[in-house]
């Protein structure tokens, strides 16, 4: 399938242990700190804790030496087109080893409306009448169909009988390249595997339609290797309090204060000179 997609500007990303994926590293970035949100594995799914009002981005880094298409959704909505998300839709095209942060709902080739954690009723999906999938981020990755190599005249391989007679191993058929697609379909089968059991202390989180900011892209063509994703990455999210109540995050016991071996010897630094505003020798 050949479809016009978004070509992103080259950007360098440093991804850490919180990244998920085989074909690409995917993680959720807290834009107030620039650090990746910690991922928590619970009952077959990955979760991150968002902060209400906090801005975030979906960071993707292509691990392959060829182009890769990432069809990305937030709360069941395609982040480029705003349509209810489907694999066959448009996405971002990453060059070999390229990284990029998807920071909002695309409004044009020049800007986006930022992703912001907010109470579910204020989420873009719920405000547009699509509340069913609030609380999940998805990235469907597609390899590119490479051009067929030029035909080269060569001698036909021997038949199995001839090979056996000559003592050579017989040729074996290569497995069909459907393993990745099968794994993606298996992931989809788990879409509804986790339910909410505990009463949640805070409103469920969704993703709002935040302020506009500059984000430049171009258009390009991309031919997918298959109709099904080569890999599907799914990350669920909610507030820290809700994840704690659900058992996704286990409460860490408070750490007792550590005794100080030299309590009368605090660290000393350069003192302000006499008459310095707000200072003085100590």
Residues 6+ apart with CB under 8 A from 207: 74, 75, 115, 116, 117, 118, 123, 124, 125, 134
Q: What residue spans of 116-262 are helical by DSSP H?
A: 124-127, 160-166, 179-188, 240-246
CA–CA gap between residue 12 and residue 99 (Å, rounded): 6
Q: What is the pLDDT of residue 234?
A: 97
Q: What is the mean pLDDT of the chain?
A: 82
pLDDT in tens, 260-270: 888 777 767 77
Q: Percent of the chain, pLDDT > 90?
A: 61
Q: What residue spans of the chain are helical by DSSP H?
A: 124-127, 160-166, 179-188, 240-246
pLDDT in tens, 246-259: 999 987 766 778 88
Reported confidence tier of residue 171, pLDDT bands at 50, 70, 90: very low
β partners of residue 84: 77
Mean pLDDT, residues 26-30 taken together:
97
Mean pLDDT, residues 171-198 taken together:
45
pLDDT in tens, 54-105: 999 999 999 999 999 999 999 999 999 999 999 999 999 999 999 999 999 9
Q: Is 69 in contact with 145 (CB distance < 8 Å)?
A: no
Q: Is 44 in contact with 190 (CB distance < 8 Å)?
A: yes
CA–CA gap between residue 271 and residue 282 (Å, rounded): 7
- What residue ranges do the domains of the chain occupy? 2-146+177-246
Q: What is the pLDDT of residue 267?
A: 67
Q: Could you give the 3-state DSSP secondary structure of residue 31? A: coil
Q: β-strands 111-119, 55-62: how paired?
A: antiparallel
The torsion defined by the Cα of 215, 218, 222 and 224, in degrees rounded to 10, comes to 10
Reported confidence tier of residue 153, pLDDT bands at 50, 70, 90: low
Q: Is 159 in contact with 246 (CB distance < 8 Å)?
A: no
Q: Percent of the chain, pLDDT > 70?
A: 73
Q: What is the pLDDT of residue 4?
A: 60
Q: Which of 2-11, 197-206, 207-216 has the lowest mean pLDDT?
A: 2-11
């Amino acid at each position: 399938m050949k479809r016009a997609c978004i070509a992103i500007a080259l950007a360098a990303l440093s991804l850490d242990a919180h990244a998920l994926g085989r074909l690409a590293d995917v993680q959720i970035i807290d834009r107030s700190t620039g650090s990746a949100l910690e991922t928590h594995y619970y009952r077959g799914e990955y979760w991150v804790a968002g902060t209400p009002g906090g801005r975030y981005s979906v960071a993707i880094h292509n691990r392959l030496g060829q182009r890769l298409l990432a069809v990305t959704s937030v709360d069941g909505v395609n982040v480029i087109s705003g349509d209810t998300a489907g694999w066959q839709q448009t996405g971002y095209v990453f060059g070999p080893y390229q990284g990029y942060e998807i920071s909002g709902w695309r409004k044009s080739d020049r800007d986006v409306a930022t992703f912001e954690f907010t109470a579910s009723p204020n989420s873009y999906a719920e405000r547009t009448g699509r509340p069913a999938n609030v609380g999940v981020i998805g990235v469907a990755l597609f390899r590119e169909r490479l051009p067929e190599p030029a035909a080269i005249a060569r001698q036909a391989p021997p038949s199995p009988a001839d090979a056996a007679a000559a003592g050579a191993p017989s040729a074996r058929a290569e497995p069909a390249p459907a393993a990745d697609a099968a794994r993606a379909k298996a992931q989809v089968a788990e879409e509804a595997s986790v339910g909410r059991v505990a009463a949640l202390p805070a409103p469920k989180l969704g993703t709002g339609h935040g302020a506009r900011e500059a984000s430049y892209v171009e258009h390009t063509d991309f031919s997918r290797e298959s109709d099904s994703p080569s890999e599907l990455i799914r990350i669920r999210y909610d507030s820290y309090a809700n994840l704690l109540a659900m058992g996704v995050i286990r409460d860490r016991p408070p750490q007792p204060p550590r005794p100080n071996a030299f309590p009368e010897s605090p660290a000393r630094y350069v003192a302000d000179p006499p008459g310095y505003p707000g200072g003085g020798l100590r």
